[in-house]
Structure 1
Amino acid sequence: MKKDEKAIKKAWTEFFINDKDDISGVRDIIKKSWIRTKNYGVDVTNEKVEDEFQKKQEQAIKKMASFIDIVRPFMIQLFNIIKETGFMITLIDKNGFILDTYISANIPETSNNSTANLSEEYIGTNAMGTSIYLDKPIETWGYENSYKGFHEFTTSAAPIHDIDNKLIGSIGITGYRDTFSTHTLGMVVAVAYAIENELRLTEIKKDKYLTKSYNFRKDKDKDKKELYDFSDIIGNSHELNGAKNQAKIASKNNSNILILGESGTGKELFAQSIHKNSIRCNKPFIAVNCGALPLTLAESELFGYSPGSFTGAKKEGQMGKFEMADGGTIFLDEIGEMPLSIQASLLRVIQDREVIRIGANKSKKIDVRIIAATNRNLFEEVEKGNFRMDLFYRINVFTINIPPLRKRIEDIKPLIQYFIEKYNNVFNSNINNISKTVENIFMTYRWPGNVREIENIIERAVQIASDNVIDIKDLPVNLQLNNQNNSDLKSNILKNKEYNTIIDFLSETKGNVKATAENLGIGRATLYRKLSKYNIDIEQYRY
């Protein structure tokens, strides 16, 4: 389109300034919109006065609040991808009122890009308003925009529909006309489709009152609340089997255990499996999320309190989690989040094997096995003074490292099949596989949310897939964009191991290029070439 700039500019001048209807050099879809613009009586040359629309825009934002809340995460996700390239993202309702915008720093917010209403009736031909009128995606470039103030911009926009396929708004990406990418329209269409899927999924969840589970557990008798077992851990990779074997050994003794692993790897699944295969299996298993404990209530939750200990206390007092777990196992999840003041009290309980309720004068002996878990590097937390060294050595008797999903990609396919089967049963669906494109995306994606993330994606896709095969259109927008950004997925699969190794060493060295190169056994120049090859930004690892 850029090569036709002179022709389009001349056509705009002839049509809008010289009032000539016989013009050439513009697309038919644009010419029809220009005619509508003229029929609406839009002033395409003078700056817009927003006073008349300000109150209506505020009302529209209030009316569409729930819609905005659903769309905003997609806008933020997309903006984080493109913000360095000089773009803005805009959301409008079906009447053209702007509901939300994200503007890159190098696009100054002026009257030319901050109008309250983008409907054709108000501002003439523009991708946002024209996509609403046509009810289909469109891109308008530079002088194709009717309003003179928009001539320096190009916009790609796509309409958004609700669960009943009624038009409710449009989303668009705007950038300077000389820097715009030809792939932007496809990107915004993918985002609009993902938003529509999310709207549909939200309605389904409202209707079905779903209870979400982020675990790998196979179907159990719902009334028995059975604990997980090692057979519930899906995957047969060398790395995962190593962790399972360590956990099985740990289940046969009585030592305290520290489980290390990123979020979503299944630390509680391992903890429950260990308990279920131990001599304590018929005793309680009590799980505590240390990161969710309010500081003011943490001690009373963990150790209990006597009657009348504080304002609001139950008159009969309350048993703490450690007493509840007596004879069994207490699982202290995210122990790295525990405040230092509580760590001191916990250390005393571990050392003395007794608890003292708040407000009590006597202690009570307890027999509890402790399994702790964290996604933090506790060695570093000890060095920083955020975690007590003596407590660390008390809980770190038997360590189990659960590998992240990116380090055991051979487990991805079994997980996919397992979760498809699981959610087919939940939603009475008939999904039997994923497309080859989706498989390639899954095998090259880094899975920062690990197994929890892949489960969420499959749960969502099973509900919104229109066929019995999950395709790229059924994935969240970040994975769809991941596909667009990889021109040769097969090559990426082969390179995945090297890429992951570089990432791991960069994380370990906090972005130190020299140390990373030494760990890899290559020169710094070679490492820089690989960083460029894989488009790795080392700054994100320097913290």
Structure 2
Amino acid sequence: MRTTYFDAMNRMNRRKSSSEAERISHATTRAWEKYVERGRADEEIEQSVRSEILESWARCTDSGISALAVATPQKIGEEDVSVLRRKNRSLCQAARAAFERLAPHLTDSGAILILTDQTGTVIDAIGDPQTLELGQEIQLEIGGVWDEAVIGTNGIGTALRTGKPTYVHASEHFCQGIQSWTCAGVPVFDPLDRSIIGVVDLSGPPDIFQPHNVALVVAAAREIEIALAEQQRQERTTLLEAYIDLPRTHDSDEAIVLLNSSGRIVFSRNTDKASDQSRDNLPIGRQLLNLSSGMTDGDLAAALPPNLAATVIDILKSGNEVQGAALILPGKAPSLTRPKLKGVTIKPRAGVEESEIVIIGECPKMLEAIEFARRAAMANVTVLVQGETGVGKELFARLIHSHHTKEDVPYVAVNCAAISGELIGGELFGHVAGAFTGALREGKSGKFEQANGGVLCLDEIGDMPPELQTYLLRTLEQRAVYRIGCNKRRPIDVQLIAMTNRNLRQDIEAGRFRRDLFYRIGTIVIDVPPLRERGRDIDQLVQHFNFTLSTKFERGILEFSPEAMAALRTYRWPGNVRELRNTIERLCLLHGDGAVGLSDLPDEICNPQSSDFLFGGTPAAATGQMDLDGIESVAIQRAIGRENGNLTKVALTLGISRPTLYRKIRQYNLDRGK
């Protein structure tokens, strides 16, 4: 049979005289009895007991631990052990090789090898079967809690408490019930930040142990730490590769922090160039947040510490698995040059006095919407653009027009909600003289004819009267228009872009919108995501509006505090991008010094749960308990109250047309304030 380490040690111990060991053991037992009786040490006890053991006894006395305890009083169940193992997955994986290597030496040794987490809870145990069975009597088994504050002086708990390799022999244990054991525990340190994450312990009957056996456990603990360091090195390499592969330009001067899958900092660069508030307390190993696979960029921004801001947050993946996140920190001073942002630029139309349009965004849903718009332009098919009020649906209509296969084609836009039901038919399809009351004497061509060869954009198509929906369907199917009051067929070649903030499928079920028209206008459907679902795009939009509006008003660039940026990221934005732009515009005009703190933001942003969020006696409700319609109605009602019922100003503030505002007031049965 193979000779093990423990066989050799046992033979050597048997050769030695046991008289000295017995003398020391008896002296320690007498000192323990005397200490328990008096509750303190005297000179005789101090000469008989090692100082580190006496210090532990003193802590046990101060904690009120009973010296007559026979076993640890705490043990967790199998389900909780499974949770603990998942939480300490890296530690368990790193310990596997060392435990497998030592297992053959432990089979008939009388010793067991134990792994605990940072709380002293046993999560793995191997070794001599008889000793494992004996350990169950004192709950020295998987699930048992061996923190010093629970079961007194012991190799596991005292090593955790002191952070040093510790052996506790027989009556050196504070609790009488475990004095028939000897144990040697060594802390396992996290290579990232040198914090204690667990303990490796060797336990068994007193006759198989000597103090120098601690060296064996130290070697096992260091082997585990080396395995952990290799895990972390591979993890860091994977994160750096995922960061480099991101579809955006990397600035070598930007301050970056990489978080692993548990939200801990594993890499940082140029943090000395970050703002003072962002730079503080960013050591390697610090856990900034609890990262889970289902989190979005916005969730990450909201979970960051209040004093930490990030201008960009990237989810880092390997395949489909989330590996971590990259945080780009703001610089020490606001940039005075135009920020480099991810987006699409639309040039002004020929012969039209208008500014350049930029669609800012790089979240997956925005990139998908932009790609759909480009494909729709090339295919020249009807398009339905859906999205909440203020998301920028009209920008996608302009994007499609700008990518049209022909240059300088007409672009005609009509807001179906801004024209009365009696006039919209003539506006769209044209009319002949005397076709209806108010018709022009000489007749008039409609928007379809004006857009011939180009793009016709119908905003808020869900508000089109049902009788005109039939007329529109016939026009699209026949690719020809009939002016009201005239039977002459006028061929047209128009790419129709319909836009709506309504749920047309619900309108179909309610009989307010034709099903066949819905499928006719929705050859390609573009869903523009609401701002609250766009994650890091909020930061980019803030930068964009900050620069463009500050330049427009000849003001200094605004500098947002981390708390202000955190509030902007977590706000629900019922008015979406339009509301964000209006917010930045107000800040540019009102804050001459350029510094924007949390208190400078509108009440609904810095204090969304405020009781004065609602007006007109409407009962307050937490936004987290409201659906989207409820949030929108709250925003409108608040604006009405703020503008004292002036609906023109309300519509201007919210960035919507007056007909849309009137419809929303009717829809939500709001108090108009007059």
Given the two structures, how large is their TM-score scaled by the length of structure 2?
Answer: 0.39
TM-score (norm 1): 0.48
Asked which structure has the greater CA Rg, the reply is 2
Which one scores higher on RCO, CA 8 angstroms, separation ≥ 6?
1
